[in-house]
Structure 1
Amino acid sequence: MTADTELARDIYRRSHLTGEFTLRSGVEANEYFDKYLFESDPLMLRRVAEALAPLIPEQGVDALAGLELGGIPLATMLSQVTGVPTLFVRKEAKTYGTCRLAEGGDVEGRRLLVVEDVVTSGGAVLDAVTELRDRGATVERTICVIDRESGGQKNLADKGIELKALFTMTELKAAGAA
């Protein structure tokens, strides 16, 4: 068993739930990956970040942009593993204080790599990228742990955003069945 297959199996066993779930996209699903179950485990979170690190382009990334909420622990640990600075991206800008969308530094003129936990339709990533671009950031890529293979990759590509996933849903299911 390769290290990737072992990690996929461990993520599947730790976070795969069955039942009736409504996803952010509005899609009804009979299975769900509760990413907080692997993100809250410090050893597993580090393993995931170490596996994600090679997905970061060697050049052209000024900062990681972790999306609220699940992308933030991933981006933070990924920053620890790689040394790339991290920004914490809110779902919407604060209406008080600094009124920032992203905490941890300015986004204007910076090339950001969006970090997300799970991508289904890509809606959360698209919302964040639109807001980041409106504030002067360059965003061309995103990475995630799980691509649910539900149109997210195409939806993002249509807006000029490349998605690289650590695992697809198909790969996780195969590893979980092994």
Structure 2
Amino acid sequence: MEVMEDIEELAVQLFDAGAVRLGDIEAKVGRRTPIYFDLRVVISSPKVMVSVAQHLQRLSSETEHEVLCGVPYAALPFTVVMSVNTGTPMIMKRKETKLYGTRKILEGIYKQNDTCLIVEDVVTSGGSLLETARTLRDEGLVVKNAVVVLDREQGGASILKANGVEVKSIFTMTELVKILRKAGRISDETAEIVSDHIKECQFSMD
């Protein structure tokens, strides 16, 4: 019960910090959404950032891993906090390979066949997380699990599972909306709109 209460408190903190935005918003994947989750703003709320990282740590403790890798850029601050708190080494995937010097796609120290846990903010289609998993695997790392703040329940987690990556999330979109409605942050009408959107906008491997 204590964990659930903490999760409910975190959901309200994220909403109040501006990480949950409502309206007809264009999402990254080119579709419009009635609810947008933007964790980049949390870097300006240290207490909330630490709280998010602690919940991700709880999920990460259920998996075996030697290294952490945050998907750039929103997940990087949480990955840093997790690394410092747990003493687990962290590596970073670059957006693109360096064209000079070491020409690395990954920054940090790791060994071949190290098991790497991916940290992500939101899973929608699963594209960004899957791209990161493929890069890590190409570099000789083992990727079996990912921890994320929000699973939008639009098919991304299933796509990732089919590609050998099990996703554990702090919230599903359904859970987040239920908590925010209970807390009086969103209306019943908004909750229904979001629920309909989840059902209508599903991604698949086709």
Secondary structure at 2:81 match in 1: helix
Aligned to 2:49: 45
Amino acid aligned to 2:54: E
CA distance in 1, matches of 2:176, 2:43: 16
Q: CA RMSD in A?
A: 1.7
Q: Residues 137 and 30 (structure 1 numbering): CA distance in 2 closer, same or farther, change over 3 Å? A: same
Secondary structure at 1:138 match in 2: coil
Equivalent residues in 2 for 1:14-33, closer than 5 Å: 14=17, 15-33=19-37
Aligned to 2:80: 76
Per-residue Cα deviation, 1:88-108 (whole angstroms, up to 9, x for no partner):
112332222221122122363
Figure out how many residues of one structure are paired with residues of the other and give that number: 178
Per-residue Cα deviation, 1:99-152 (whole angstroms, up to 9, x for no partner):
112212236321100001111111001111111111111001111111111111
Does 1:171 find its partner at 2:175?
yes
Aligned to 1:124: 128
CA distance in 2, matches of 1:103, 1:83: 17
Q: Which residues of structure 2 form unaligned runs of 5+? A: 184-206
Q: Do 1:12 and 1:172's aligned partners in 2 also have CA atoms closer than 8 Å? A: no
CA distance in 2, matches of 1:27, 1:108: 38
Aligned to 2:142: 138
Q: Residues 119 and 90 (structure 1 numbering): CA distance in 2 closer, same or farther, change over 3 Å? A: same
Does 1:4 find its partner at 2:14?
no
Normalised to the residue count of structure 2, the TM-score between the two structures is 0.80
Q: Percent identity?
A: 37
Secondary structure at 2:13 match in 1: helix
Give the number of the structure whose residues are more often strand, by fraction: 1
Per-residue Cα deviation, 1:8-39 (whole angstroms, up to 9, x for no partner):
22113321112333322222212211111224
